[in-house]
Structure 1
């Protein structure tokens, strides 16, 4: 589906993580096809050093992997990576980068992005919280649920650092608790349901 400048109603999957996240991202991406009509946005809350995910992850997926730049068009069948030291927002079908709003302490870039999605994205939302320290993303899960989105946390025994998925689960707003491989299956099922409901399947 070519959506350049037109449709903004395909699903977005936000995968939020930090410490131990690379293991989860690679396991997840290896089990996703490249043509399911979904945009994957990896929000890894690194703050003090440059991300290398856009150089590492192409070996794990058939989808193009892009480091997000300001005003970049959001398109399906791609993996997008947040740059360091930036908050990420969406508006009008594009990504928007802003200076990080919480420069000290644990970052909340996942929470910021999920809240922007809940307010501004027309398509289905899937929020995935994987391995990482602290609880970034948890505070936004209720808002994702309120707009009809799906929330998923990595199963704690499969996470190298379980703090973030544990914090997500503790909110009571998580639909599924799964391994990265099973999360991929859930994303694929939801993507197929969206295609079928819109007459594309």
Structure 2
């Protein structure tokens, strides 16, 4: 089954606070896959060790050819681009090794080409503007786009860049993002 919604939560600096606040408010059985794309390049991610403390959903560090399943949280490993194909995650060497990474943009664009289910793109706290360049593409395929409310973001650069695209449907706190995801998931069921 590859027609369930995927929620891509893209963030960076300050993102951990948003991920925790979001996951604490999501039920484990809403039928969506949560993919956290944190653009880290230099250090190993620890999100797959930290976030299980805040959700009852299984939390997996993405490995080669891991199947995408609902009611799970998936974490991108550091220094990789993430793609989807045939219902599986595909990891590639990072395409932009210098400067600010664009791993969120890469993943969102892959979703627009290779995922049949509903797409929800969420941009939370972080530096730079990763993800913003793909938000209009998400909307073009019928997806929903959400930016973290600036006053709730520790580093608002990424949400500001997302809002500036003009392709954001909702600007919400992490707790209200969780409510909107649940609303969309129930509408899809």
- TM-score between the two structures when normalised by the length of structure 2: 1.00
Tell me whether 1:175 sits opposite 2:169 in the alignment: yes
- Is structure 2 residue 163 aligned with structure 1 residue 163? no
Distance 1:21 1:153 in 2: 12
What residue in structure 2 maps to residue 74 of structure 1?
A: 68
Which residue of 1 is the match for residue 5 of structure 2?
A: 11
May I ask how many residue pairs the two structures share in their alignment?
A: 189
Aligned Cα root-mean-square deviation (Å): 0.2
Equivalents in 2 of 1:77, 1:44: separation in Å?
19
- Per the alignment, residue 85 of structure 1 pairs with 79
- Secondary structure in 2 aligned to 1:110? helix
1:1-201 paired onto structure 2 within 5 Å = 7-195=1-189
Give, in angstroms, the shift of residue 173 of structure 1: 0.1
CA deviations 1:139-190 (Å, max 9, x no partner) are: 0001000000000000000000000000000000000000000000000000
State the distance in 1 between where 2:154 and 2:105 align. 21
Give 3-state SS (helix, strand or coil) of 2:121's partner.
Answer: strand
Q: Secondary structure at the match of 1:144?
A: helix
Q: Which runs of 5+ in 1 are unaligned?
A: 1-6, 196-201
Give how far 1:61 is off: 0.3
| Separation in structure 2 between the aligned mates of residue 165 and residue 118 of structure 1, nearest angstrom | 20
Q: Which runs of 4+ in 1 moved over 2 A?
A: none
Q: Secondary structure at the match of 1:33?
A: coil
